[in-house]
Structure formats: structure tokens, C-alpha cells
Structure 1
Amino acid sequence: MRHDQIREGRLSGDRSTQIAHYLSSMEADHKIASADLFVDMAHLAMLSRQELIGDDHAKLLAAALLRMYTDGIPKEAFDERFEDIHAGIEGELIAEVGKEAGGRLHLARSRNDEVATCLRIRVREDILRILTSLSSLRGVLIHLAEEHSGTVMPGFTHLQHAQPTTLAHHLLAYEEAFSRDAERLSDAYRRVNRSPLGAAAFASTGFPIDRDLTKKLLGFDELSGNSMDAVSGRDFALETLSALTVMMTAVSRFCEELILWSSAFVRFVDLDDMYCSTSSIMPQKKNPDCAEIMRGHAGTVAGAFQAAVICVKGLPMSYNRDLQTLTPHLWNGISHASASIEILSGMIQTALFNRERMLEESDKGFSTATELADTLVREYGLPFRTAHNIVGRAVRSGEITLATVEEAGHEMAGISLLEKGLTEERIRRALDPSEVVAAKNVPGGPAEGVIRDAIRLRSRVLADDNEMIIMRERTIKMAEEELVSMMRRMAGE
């Protein structure tokens, strides 16, 4: 029967199953088991290079670690008799190669720096995976913007018809928001990808270890400096969850609009049946359930961030066992955010947008009135506030015609716009949604030429971001290959 080798010296007696379960982090540790294997390999390679472990012992350990790498970590390592996966893997190594060899691997390290290193390895993998999913989503939005650069639709403020815009303009707004989310995650990656290994319990070690070697073998860019901060700092987790919370806020806003747009009242979009459900009692229903669940999971991610913050805020330096309770919140937030981005990308890509319905609504609620006011300023020399008041008074009458504008001009400013040359035709053109959109020909606007420029710019930014992801993935992969190669040489393969 496996037992917890760490308790043998200082503590007596076995724990009850209840206490063992209460203290165990095994449920959350499944996500860092493979990372712990890499950390063991890198630490062994360093101990061997520094001549802190003999060749015979190193050979046995390298061969055992390679078997776990190839065949998988034995399920016994996840037994809750071990407090965590680190102790579980060490216990399996001791069981396989004996305590004389297996008991030497933990030299010059602690579970404190070990778990901190494993967490960072896993979080950086998750960040790169989410960045890849974000890139896919952004690519979908850019592609759809190309298709709909001329699709006129109403824009809204306060959920009221405001001014005409285009679907491309609307989609690119979300692409830029998700691009900033990618920036935040990419920037967080730099602080995540720092190696705490070698900090030991918190005061480093008196053995002549080589932290730079383990950093390189594990694909880290930098070392965590102060050893006390290295083992107890979890701001990398808070920063990641914070960035994901902001990202999911944008996701939730997008889902809210898709839910509204897919309603019978609006009918701007038809979501693919794959992303919808029906009612158990009302056979006619097609409910946007994926969008609704996603909107809810924005709260799940925000809750994970809040729980993690509360966990850390009262802890003194350095390591405290409370930090174990942060980890499930970290995985929960990452899991829901990652799944949401992947599903949102597919939901948008398969959606059918109703161009005719969008155009039909684009001039409702006097949404083109602002352009008429701007026309009175540009072409007839009125102060904007005067033009604003005149058009507003015409709207108040219930329709915008030459007669109502002329009457409003007399009432609000004591002027005749007829005498200034205003015609019914000019009013009609000013109120045409397509004309309104075409007039917004400044950077960031919805005019078709501006949108084409924006698409080119956003495509370049996306390409650069994708190159960064590939470069980081390649660095990690090369480090893994070098590490495994060292293990094979040490094992005599």
C-alpha cells in the first residue's frame, strides 16, 4: 500500500479519510501532473550536471521519469493518501527505484517552489491556447466584416435607435475589444513565464544549484527573483484571471446583443440550430442557449477572480497553505473562459445575418436626424446647436419634411431655410441611411472605404499576434525536446 513518505519522520499515525480528502489538492492537481513531471526531469538534469546526485541514481530516476512521460503517470500517484501530486509522483518513484535513489530527487527544492513552477507552466499553456482561440474569433470577425462592409444597420445608444452604421463597423468594434484582451493576456504571459524553481521553501538553498539551467530546460524566459516572492506570489494567477474577466465581459456584451438580435422583435440574426435549444413544452421555441450560458459564465469567471483575490489578500509572506484553495478557482476561471471563446467563434461563424431587416430598421426612430443637423451646419452655415434645435423640433412634430424643418427654423431661430436654398431632395438625401454612413469617412468610422482600411490594419495586427503565439509555442516545444533528450542520455537509451 502506498503511503505519504513526507509524514514519516515528523508526524505519527495515519490520517482519517476525511482529513486526507480535506487537505488533498489532488482534484486540482490533475491539471499540473504533466508539468510536475517536466519539473522533476529538469531538476534531475540540474542535480546531475551540478554533481549533486550520482550517475547510477540519476540513471534510475531518468529511466523511471521517462516511463511516466511515455506511458502516463500511474493512477496510484493521484491517491489522496498523498497530499498532492508532487508527493504522489515522488512516492511512485521511490516505489519503483527504491528510496536510496528515489529519495534523492527532492534535494535542494521544496514543494513550495515545485508547485509554483508547475502552476506557471500550466497557466502559460492555457494562455497560449486562449490566445489561439481569440485569434480564431478575431479572424472570423474580420472575415465577416469583409462580407458586410456595405451592410447598413441601425446603431444604438441606450438601446434606442441612434445613427445608422454597418454590420462591419459593429463587428470590428468587438474585434478591437478582443484584440485588447489578447494584448492583456500576452502581456500577462511575460510575467507568468518566470521560473521560481530553486527558491526552495522560501529562503533558497545552500546547495550549488543552477537555476538558469532549469529555467532554460523548462522554457521559461526569466527567473523569479526574490525567493520568498517566488514561492508565495500568485499575482500571475490574479493577473490572468483579471484579464479573462475583462475578456468575458466583452463576450457577455456580444452575447447579449446576439440574444436581442435573434429575438422575434429584432430578427437581425439567425443562430445555427447547433447553438440553440428548444422548449420542453413549447414546440415553436428556438432559444439562444449557448449565448445565454456564455453570458452567465462571464459571472463565473469574475467570481473565480474575486475568490482568488480574497484568498491572497490577507496572507503574510511567504508560503501559506491557503494558496492551495486558490488553484481550483484559477482552473475554473480558465476553463470557462477558454470554452466560451471557442464556442463563440463557431456561433458567429455559422450565424446568418438578415441584411434586409437591418436596412429596414436603419432609419427608424429618426436615426438619420444627426446627419441632417450636420448638413445644415456644413452647407447652410448654421451653428450646430441651432441646427440641433431645429431638427429636434421637427422630430417633435412627428416627421421631418421641408415644411416641418422650415417651420422649426422660424420658431427656433427666426430664419428661413428655404431662403438659404434647402430643398426636399436635400433633406431626403441627408436622411438616407446609406448616404449617412458614406459621410462618416474618418478613421474609425463606418464608411466603406474606411472599413476596408480598418480590415487591412486589423488583419496585420492579427498576423503579428499569431506569429508571437507560434514563437512562444516553439520555444516551449524546443525546451521539452531538449529536456527529454537529456533524460534519455542519462538513462542510457
Structure 2
Amino acid sequence: MSDILRRGRLSDVPDEKIQNFSSSMNDDKWIFNADILVDFAHTVMLFEQDIISRKECKLILGGLQKIKNEGIVGLDWNYEDIHISLESKLIDLVGEDVGGRMHSGRSRNDEVATCIRITLREQLIELMEEINKLRVALLDVSLSNIDTILPGYTHLQHAQPTTLAHHFLAHAGSLERDFGRAFDAYKRINLCPLGASAFASTGFNIDRTRTQELLGFDDILENSMDAVSSRDFLIETAALCSNIMINLSKMSEEIVLWSSSEFNFIEIHDKYASTSSIMPQKKNPDTAELIRGKSGAVIGSLMSLITICKSLPLSYNRDLQEATPNIWRCMDTTITSVSIMAGIISTLNVNKKAMESANSVGFTTATELADTLVRSTGIPFRTAHQIIGTISKNTSSPTLEQIDEVAYSITNSKMSERGLTQKHVHDALDPFHNINRRDVVGGPATNETLRSINSHRDRLGVDDQNLEACNSKLIRCVDKLMKVVDSYM
């Protein structure tokens, strides 16, 4: 293949060690399809702007089509990146007098920045689709477990009664925000750097808006220096992936804990579990543990990106080559983790009896009992807190007489003489009564939980529609581009 890059300014070639150190070909496989699309769009624009002839345009597009059909395996991997390898292959196919014109008005700097954005926006759409599938799984399990009572925890200690639906809706809420962050980031990713050239734009009469439209971008990234050098969109994407993985890690930790014999709240489906090589009775929640572990790798990618981009002067620097493998690993891990978590949640076997039994331990109704004292007797909450706190040292199911005894020692008055009845005490100690008293917005009461699930589904529907609109636009633009290519060929 043609040595089109080093033959002018440089008189020697790197040895194998330097070549392996410098090459990005292994990581560039992510952007092969995007690179072909960029070449198609750029070539079409060059012809339409009278920078190349119709014959040259036809030959270049035909060569690119052949390269596309052969795939990345047809390229020479001895080059330092996919862009030069692809262009060299084109020149070998159609000759330098024709193929050598394709790169007019652009640089690898704006080319690679465009390819990264095209690939990343596709992956981000896939990630948002997987997030919404996980949201559906959480809402479905929530609807099936509105009355499944379990202890809520603070500091991993039994705190107050809640429901599994209320618990899973908390995770659904965090994932809804994750979707919002991803959708918002998409707007900043889907900006076109093509036409910025090396960093100072070009003297050719190019039409940046035309290539932007052909490639499905929402707008151009205007300043040419900013266009080729900025990688803030990678940092933003890695940050939102880190946030998603942190949320998944929380879910994973609960799945691991709840699967243990000590909790016995849930059992994961066999396909998400492993067994021991020596202990035949074991069923281990390995997929959840791996998601928990892989969150560290995604966070590590974010730290790498931040460190690589820190203090880089404008405009393009080769350091940025090290940024892309981090974002590809980050995205691949996050997409897969979200997908697997959706499968885990949708196939969970819930042990309702174990959850309900656990709720009887730890005096989870103490808060409601203190609140009941406030409502029925008019004493300050802090006084009620002291009374019930004192009682909790000895029992988790006090009688009215026991409450009176402790209250008298603290306030010199009995609660029964101030309006507290045995029914008040009985209701306060009932976990289900506790839950249904909490019918404020976002609470665990049955009616409020149903309202919340329906509200989540409504918002999820809107998110799905917005996502489909983005995806449909990209599909239409690629189809339009290929029709233009076909017409010019």
C-alpha cells in the first residue's frame, strides 16, 4: 500500500516497537464505519462545491464502497491509524490523482473528532435504550410488590417499615435521572467538527453545514480550534457512565446481601449465578458482584480521561489518542452492565415471607409510635422520642401500661390520661398501618405507590419517544447520505 504520510517530511520509518507504541489501529476498529460515512459525506460535499469533478467523485465513492464491503480486515494494519490506512487503500484502488483528492479541505484532526462523535452518539442511544429497559423491569417488579413489606435500612440497621415497591422505585428514580443526563449529553455530542481541518479551518470553499446535515448532526461545532481539540464530551460521557455504574453498584450490593442466607430476601435466576468449584451447594450472585467490581473500571476510565485532557494546550495534541480507548471501554462496560442488571431484576424470585419476618425485628415501628404519641397527646416530638427510645431498650412491642410507666418517669404524667388508647398503640405497631399512613408524595402507601408507578411510566413513555426521534433522525440521515452516494456513483 502507498506510503502517503511520511514520504515528504520524514526520511525514516519507525521500528516495530515505536510502531506498536504509536499505532491506534486496535482502538480504531470502533470508528471504522463512522470513518467511511465521514469520507462519503466529505466527498459528496467536495463535488457539490466544485472542488472535485463528478468523475473523481464517482471513482472515490466507488472505492470507498468497496472498502466498506471488505470491512476493516481489508486494511493494512501497519499504519499508525485507520484514517491513513483507509486513504492509502483508496489510493491503491483508484490512483493518487483521484484518491489523493479526497482529503482536500480536512485534516485527520477534524476527521477523527467527527468519527468519535458519530460512534459515541450511537452507543449513547444504545445505552439509553438499555437504561429504559431496566426502568421497565424495576416498575414491573414494583407493581407486583406493592404490598410486599420489608424493613427499610439506615446504616444497614432496621429503620422503618417500607415496601419492596417503594424500595425499587428509589432505584427507578435514580435511573430516570441517569437517562436525563445521557439525553442532555447527547445534545453536546451531536455537534459536527468536520471542516475545522487541522485547527485553522481551510482555504477550500467547503460547506460545513452540508456535511453536518448529511451526517445527521444537529449543528456544527463552530470554532475550528475548539472543534478539533475539545474532548469535554468524552469526560461528560464517562462521568454519566460512572454515575450509572455507581447506581448499579448500589443495586448489586443489595442483591448480594439479600441473596445471602442471613437475609434470604431474594434468589437470582440460575443464569445470573455461578457455583463453586469445590463446594457443590453454592449459588453465588456473580453477575451482581461483577457489576459492582466493574464500576471501578468505569470510574477509572473517567479518571484517565480527566488526567489525559488536563493542561493540554490548544489545539490538537497526540495525547488525545489515549482518550478514545478509555471511552470505548467505559461505554461497552456500562451498556453491558445495565443490560445484565435488567435481566437480574426481571427474573428475581422474591421471598416475601422472609422480608415480612425481618420487619418484626429491630422495632421498625418505633417512629410511628412516637408520632402517635405526639398526635394523640400533644406532647413535643422530642419528648415522645425520649419515651419510645427508653422503651426500645427492653421491648419492641410495648403495651399501653408500659408506655404510661416510662412516660410518667419522664413527664410525671401518663399518656393514657392525655388521650393515648390501646388502639392507637396497636395501630402504630402494625407495619402495614405504618406504611399506609405515609401517603405523602413519594411515600410507600399503596395509593401513592400506584400513583408513582403510573407517573414513572408516563415519563418513561416520553423519554422513549424522544429517544426514538433521535434514533430515527440518524437512520434517515444515513439513508439519505447513501442515496446521494448512489446517485453520484
* Alpha-carbon RMSD: 1.0
Partner of 2:428: 430
1:46 paired residue number: 45
**Aligned 1:175-194 pairs, distance under 5 A:** 175-194=172-191
Partner residue, 1:376 = 373
Q: Relative to structure 2, which stretch is displaced further, 313-322 or 374-383? A: 374-383
- Secondary structure of 1:154 counterpart: strand
Alignment partners' CA distance in 2, 1:22 and 1:360: 60
User: Match for 1:350: what amino acid?
Assistant: T
Aligned equivalents of 1:363, 1:357: Cα separation in 2 = 10
The DSSP-based 3-state class of the residue aligned with 1:118 is helix
In structure 2, C-alpha distance between the alignment counterparts of 1:137 and 1:271, rounded to whole Å: 16
Q: 246, 250, 255: which one pairs with 1:253?
A: 250
Residues 1:329 and 2:326 are matched in the alignment: yes
Alpha-carbon offset, residue 397 of structure 1: 2.5
The corresponding residue for 2:458 is 460
Output the amino acid matched with 2:284: N
Deviations 1:347-403 (A, max 9, x none): 110111111111111231001010011111112212111111111111123342223
1:323 aligned counterpart, secondary structure: helix
Task: Quote the residue 1:118 is aligned against.
Answer: 115
* 1:225-304 equivalence runs, <5 A: 225-304=222-301
Indicate which of 387, 392, 400 corresponds to 1:390.
Answer: 387
1:122-161 to structure 2, matched below 5 A, reads: 122-161=119-158
Aligned partners of 1:268 and 1:357 also within 8 Å: yes
2:21 corresponding residue in structure 1: 22
Query: After superposition, what is the alpha-carbon deviation per residue over 1:456-489, rounded to whole angstroms, capped at 9, x for unaligned?
Result: 1100110011011110011101110111111111
* 1-structure distance, mates of 2:2, 2:352: 67
Amino acid at match of 1:475: K
How far is the alpha carbon of 1:74 from its aligned partner? 4.8
Relative to structure 2, which stretch is displaced further, 292-301 or 371-380? 371-380
Contact 2:123–2:331 (8 Å) recurs in 1: yes
Identity of aligned residues (%): 43
1:33 aligns with 2:43: no
Matched to 1:450, the amino acid is E
SS of alignment partner, residue 366 of structure 1 = coil
The separation in 2 between residues aligned to 1:93 and 1:253, in whole angstroms, is: 50
Asked if the contact 1:390/1:409 (under 8 Å) is kept, the reply is yes
Query: Contact between 2:67 and 2:74, CA under 8 Å: does it hold in 1?
Result: no
Question: Residues of 1 paired with 2:466 and 2:314: CA distance?
Answer: 35
Listed one character per residue, the Cα deviations across residues 123-151 of structure 1 (whole Å, up to 9, x for unaligned) are: 10111000000000001111111111111
Q: How many residues align?
A: 488
Aligned to 2:364: 367
Q: Which residue of 1 aligns with 2:400?
A: 402
- Which residue is 2:62 aligned to? 63
CA displacement, residues 163-204 of structure 1 (integer Å, 9 cap, x when unaligned):
000000000000000000000010000000000000000000
Instruction: Output the CA distance in 1 between the equivalents of 2:296 and 2:98.
Output: 48
Distance in structure 2 (CA, Å) of the matches to 1:13 and 1:475: 47
Contact 1:195 1:220 survives alignment (8 Å): yes
CA distance in 2, matches of 1:4, 1:245: 41
Q: Provide the residue aligned with 2:11 in structure 1.
A: 12
Q: Tell me the distance in 2 between the aligned counterparts of 1:253 and 1:73.
A: 41
Q: Distance in 1 between matches of 2:320 and 2:267?
A: 45
Structure 1 gaps, min length 5: none
Q: 1:273 to 1:17 in 2, by over 3 A?
A: same
TM-score by length of 2: 0.98
Q: What amino acid is the match of 1:276? A: A
Counterpart of 2:437 in structure 1 is: 439
Which amino acid letter does the alignment assign opposite residue 28 of structure 2? D
Residue 311 in structure 1 maps to residue 325 in structure 2: no
Following superposition of structure 1 onto structure 2, how do residues 407-422 of structure 1 map, counting pairs within 5 Å? 407-422=405-420
Pairwise CA distance, 1:15 = 2.2
> What SS class does the counterpart of residue 417 from structure 2 fall into?
coil
The one-letter code of the counterpart of 1:377 is V
Letter in 1 for 2:11: S
What residue is the counterpart of 2:480 in the other structure? 482
Name the structure 2 match of 1:220: 217
